[in-house]
Structure 1
Amino acid sequence: MSRFAVESSCLPATPDALRALIEQRRAVRRFLDEPVADEILRDCLEQAVLAPNACNLQPWSFQVIRDPELRRRLVPVCLGQNAARTAPVLIAVLARPDTWRESCAAIIEQWPEPQVPEKIRDFYQRTAPFQYNQGAFGLRGLFKRVLYAFVGQRRALMRQPNSHAEMRLWAVKSTALAAQNLMLALQSHGLATCPMEGFDEVRLRKVLEIPRRAVPIMLLAVGRAAENGVYNPRLRFPLEQRVSWH
């Protein structure tokens, strides 16, 4: 555990403190030319991977780009956005639908107790592989869809993911939770962020050599906010437009 995490664990978490942190977070488009300490970045990434995720398979990875030349090459990939041009750090946030096998094995290997509970071992050696293995050309997923359609007439069950497309969605959902943790952790250190979804994925893969089955979901610009970094006042729709109560 990092020094920052130890210190913060002594502080009470209050609704007001959390609200203040969330309200402070804005998408910042311009940054100061100041470096970000590796220790802070590591602390925030440690908090990012504490995010809840499906079956604890942690289907994410991060590429932290500090090298000035590599950041310069990413500016046109990000369509010339000011956030990419001025941020001293860029973080590629990747969903990883392709890592479930190694994660199943790693959970058993790295289990934090002397003995792995039999239920845990059985889940990661049998249940999870059945659930997440879609087979060659997705044929195993097709079989499971037919099977679940039949069994599901009698009882409720988990029907997804049962295709390669659903595996992508499965990984993206968990990775988005980690990305939000990451942004709030950086905000707690007084750093600003800008999650950029506007980028050329084909060129991004060439510049960063991203694994074929990894899914880039955002490039996160990180740094100290410049005075003119926030372009517009915040606008959120009233809850009544988006929330229903049952």
Structure 2
Amino acid sequence: MSDSIFKEPVNMPYSESAADCNFGEFSKVIESRRSVRVYTQEAVPDDVVEKCLDIALLAPNSSNLQPWEFYWVKSPENLRKLQQYCLDQPAARTSSTLIVCVARPDRWPLGQKINLDYFETQPAPPKSVMAYYQKLVPFVYGNGPGHILGPFKTLVAHVLGLFRVIPRGPYGKAGNILWATKTTALACENLMLAFRAAGYDTCPMEGFDEVRVKKLLGLPRSCAVTMVISAGKRAPNGVYGPRIRGEKTHFVHKI
């Protein structure tokens, strides 16, 4: 399939001009993006999936460290299991394309090595760049010998934070998981937008058994399954069931 499908403008039901924006049509699009949708039996071609995965890797990340992985479940047996682990939601049960997006905070050493190997091929990489990957990255994301560096960093950060020397934020294992999950979410957004640009509908699962999904993919406990995404041609009756939402005052706060 030609790459031209990714170069054509996507017809969206709203204009870039706020004055011309049709919020009613846009609201219908948002409301239809639910896991209650169903797909036709037409599968997404492999070359389209490959292209969409390539585009998803362009998710913004200023550090060049990519703490995420995509698992394209192609085996019929594994696909059937994953559909069950996604609680047999219609969007999972009727989709032939399911991709698991995983946050991998334990993969920073691999990202560090990839970047160092790349900069070694450059004629004169900046010293500040090399220092970032050789010293700063291991200090921030590593625990050091005997795992004593992690608690020490946390203590120093809290003490300095009291005097506003540095901004306080999450540190240690929980902070790394949070950082990896946020950047993985950006990659998931790129993946879904790529599928839609290619003319296919996408839907993130509203619920899944993360423990069994990790076991199916052979993942360690330290990682986090951020999202399971389905893709395919939407059926004419692709959305059904009531769209339940709570009172706006419970979820929207003005401060």
Question: Could you say whether these structures have the same fold, taking a TM-score greater than 0.5 normalized by the shorter chain as the test?
Answer: yes
Contact 2:112/2:133 (<8 A) preserved: yes
Distance 1:60 1:116 in 2: 26
Alignment pair present for 1:119 and 2:118: no
1:185 to partner: Cα distance: 1.1
Partner of 2:161: 152
Query: What's the CA shift for 1:67?
Result: 2.4
Distance in 2 (CA, whole Å) between partners of 1:135 and 1:200 is 33
Identity within the alignment, %: 37
**What is the DSSP-based 3-state SS (H/G/I as helix, E as strand, rest coil) of the residue aligned with 2:208?**
coil
1:90 is aligned with what amino acid?
L
Residue-by-residue CA offset, 1:106-160 (whole Å, 9 max, x unaligned): 1121248543221111001101111111357864222112112222344442544
> Which of 198, 202, 217 is the aligned partner of 1:193?
202
The structure whose Rg is larger is 2
2:224 aligned residue: 215
Q: How does 1:27-106 map to 2 (within 5 A)?
A: 27=34, 29-53=37-61, 55-106=63-114
- Superposed displacement of residue 226, structure 1: 1.1
Matched-pair contact (CA < 8 Å) for 2:71–2:101: yes
Question: Structure 1 stretches of 5 or more lacking a match?
Answer: none
Is the 1:54–1:174 Cα contact (8 Å) retained in structure 2?
no
After TM superposition, the structure 1 = structure 2 runs for residues 234-245 of structure 1, keeping only pairs within 5 Å, are 241-242=252-253
Q: Aligned partner of 2:194: which letter?
A: A
TM-score (norm 1): 0.82
Change (3 A) 1:6 1:35: closer
AA matched with 1:97: P
Superposed CA RMSD: 3.4
Q: Which residue of 2 aligns with 1:167?
A: 176
> Number of residue pairs matched?
241
TM-score (norm 2): 0.79
The superposition leaves residues 149-197 of structure 1 with CA deviations (integer Å, 9 ceiling, x where unpaired) of 2223444425444221221111101101111111111111111111114
